[in-house]
Homo-oligomer: A and B are copies of this chain.
Amino acid sequence: MGNNAIVGQSGGPTAVINSTLAGVLEACLARGARNVYGMVHGIEGLLQEHVVNLSDTIGSQMEIELLKRTPASYLGTCRYKLPDFSAGAQVYEKIFQILDRLDIGWFFYIGGNDSMDTIAKLSEYGRMIGSEIRFMGVPKTIDNDLALTDHTPGYGSAAKYIGVVMKEIIRDANAYGNKYVTIVEIMGRNAGWLTAAAALSRGEDCEGVNLICLPELPFHLDRFLAKVEQMQKERNSVVIAVSEGVKLPDGRYVCELSNDAEFVDAFGHRKLTGTARYLSNLVAANLDTLTRSIELSTLQRCAGHLSSRTDITEAYQVGGAAVKAAFEGHTGEMVALQRISNNPYQCTTGLVDVQKVANVEKKIPVEWINSYRTDMTADFLDYARPLIQAELTPIYIQGLTRHITMER
């Protein structure tokens, strides 16, 4: 049995993924791991033996606090899918050789459903060769699309960001007094959890967004235009939240209708931006109104200055729970968040078979969409509102939020 632990971060960055890293690091040290290594750029870095000893760079309580407040991935990220055993035996042999050389007993991977596929394959391969290494998945994604967990760390902060900035955009949009349609594009390729969070903007001091367009439902251009025209008979300013992933009934993404060539993201994946811009131009061409489009873009996943304390705390807890499980002998599992009640909000952690999480996307239940298909129901708000509660005060130095990085 190895004496050291190793942890990696994978997939898209979030505002709280480093809080999970802090939780893993502190729990491993508390339970007697001799060293806690970090994979630099996930499994891809590990394959090149690119690792750091986290105790070398994060040694003080102050540095732990900064880590909790630093967005994106402290260790760097990757999106690398392990091959099947038959096709890539030498990749697995290499990984286990490296892990043995590092004297690893516990392996943690923080990520979404692609990352859980990595944990599933490594734990399965480990069983086959009789390895004693424990492999645990730790959930992370702003998209909230992981199965078998009530929600995912990262979602609460992104939802809070969306709620706050939608309120600010609505204030801005209302200032002009003329006919004005604002279309805000929100992330979420297939699942509308982030776009749905725009519904949180409605409250005593804000009318909220006027229309929510989710990728779970087919998008009809003609019905959309008719709806906008109808809404503008009642109010000058109309603010619409639209998912980047809305699709026409024929299956094409709406953004494919635009003529924009900017199509590949940092992982080389096809990008879906341009939906709001296309719709904004469509409305301007067909209705008598001014329009604008706003892409929340990268900021919705890396706004560390506006994170949810509930989310930060849960992100830290799932790290610790993964360590506890691994040190108690669990492998091939993912920590899940299990909600006990909405009001008062109570939530605990459990363990689920990582095979059942890998490569599955959880979408919004249709019963949480209103009958007009324009807004979310009270059930969704009851689900989402606890996740955005409370703040973790950023540490401001010289007027800016302070982070911690490996490049010191």
Residue on B nearest A295 in the bound complex, by CB? B295
Q: Which residues from chain B contact A264 at a C-beta distance below 8 Å?
A: 284, 290
Whether the Cβ atoms of A203 and B76 lie closer than 8 Å is no
- Say yes or no for A165: interface residue by CB 8 A criterion: yes
Q: Which residues from chain B contact A388 at a C-beta distance below 8 Å?
A: 399-400
Whether the Cβ atoms of A266 and B164 lie closer than 8 Å is no
Interface centre among A71, A262, A285 (most CB of B within 10 A): A262
Q: How far is the CA of A73 from the CA of B173 in the complex (A)?
A: 10
Given A177-B78, A292-B266, also A400-B163 (CB < 8 A): yes
Whether the Cβ atoms of A277 and B265 lie closer than 8 Å is no
Whether the Cβ atoms of A171 and B302 lie closer than 8 Å is yes
Q: How far is the CA of A76 from the CA of B207 in the complex (A)?
A: 16
A193-229: CB near B (< 8 Å → 1, else 0) gives 0000000110101110000000000000000000000
Interface centre among A176, A200, A201, A207 (most CB of B within 10 A): A176
Whether the Cβ atoms of B260 and A171 lie closer than 8 Å is no
Q: How far is the CA of A266 from the CA of B175 in the complex (A)?
A: 10
If A168-B305, A295-B297 are given as contacts, then 4 extra A-B residue pairs at C-beta distance below 8 Å, sorted by A number, are A40-B177, A200-B399, A306-B306, A389-B398
Whether the Cβ atoms of A171 and B292 lie closer than 8 Å is no
Checking B163, B168, B285 against A299 with a beta-carbon cut-off of 8 angstroms, the contacting residue is B168
Whether the Cβ atoms of A266 and B178 lie closer than 8 Å is yes
Given A265-B290, A404-B205, also A72-B160 (CB < 8 A): no
A371-408: CB near B (< 8 Å → 1, else 0) gives 00000000000000100111100001111111111011
- Say yes or no for A320: interface residue by CB 8 A criterion: no
- Say yes or no for A167: interface residue by CB 8 A criterion: yes
Whether the Cβ atoms of A280 and B305 lie closer than 8 Å is no
Whether the Cβ atoms of A180 and B266 lie closer than 8 Å is yes
- Say yes or no for A68: interface residue by CB 8 A criterion: no
Q: How far is the CA of A294 from the CA of B187 in the complex (A)?
A: 13
Residue on B nearest A261 in the bound complex, by CB? B281
- Say yes or no for A111: interface residue by CB 8 A criterion: no
Checking B169, B207, B308 against A298 with a beta-carbon cut-off of 8 angstroms, the contacting residue is B169
Residue on B nearest A14 in the bound complex, by CB? B172
Q: How far is the CA of A407 from the CA of B175 in the complex (A)?
A: 12
- Say yes or no for A331: interface residue by CB 8 A criterion: no
Whether the Cβ atoms of B76 and A164 lie closer than 8 Å is no
Q: Which residues from chain B contact A169 at a C-beta distance below 8 Å?
A: 298-299, 302
Whether the Cβ atoms of B172 and A305 lie closer than 8 Å is no
Q: Which residues from chain B contact A164 at a C-beta distance below 8 Å?
A: 305, 400-401
A240-272: CB near B (< 8 Å → 1, else 0) gives 000000000000000000011110111110010
Q: How far is the CA of A78 from the CA of B285 in the complex (A)?
A: 24
Checking B168, B268, B294 against A71 with a beta-carbon cut-off of 8 angstroms, the contacting residue is B168
- Say yes or no for A140: interface residue by CB 8 A criterion: no
Q: Which residues from chain B contact A397 at a C-beta distance below 8 Å?
A: 203
Given A400-B203, A402-B205, also A291-B262 (CB < 8 A): yes
Given A175-B77, A267-B176, also A403-B167 (CB < 8 A): yes
Q: Which residues from chain B contact A206 at a C-beta distance below 8 Å?
A: 403, 405
Q: How far is the CA of A203 from the CA of B237 in the complex (A)?
A: 41
Q: Which residues from chain B contact A391 at a C-beta distance below 8 Å?
A: 396
Q: Chain B nearest CB: distance from A8 CB in Å? A: 12
Q: How far is the CA of A38 from the CA of B29 in the complex (A)?
A: 61
Q: Chain B nearest CB: distance from A98 CB in Å? A: 18
- Say yes or no for A293: interface residue by CB 8 A criterion: yes
Q: How far is the CA of A72 from the CA of B72 in the complex (A)?
A: 30
Q: Which residues from chain B contact A400 at a C-beta distance below 8 Å?
A: 160, 163-164, 167, 200-201, 203, 388
Checking B203, B265, B268, B291 against A398 with a beta-carbon cut-off of 8 angstroms, the contacting residue is B203
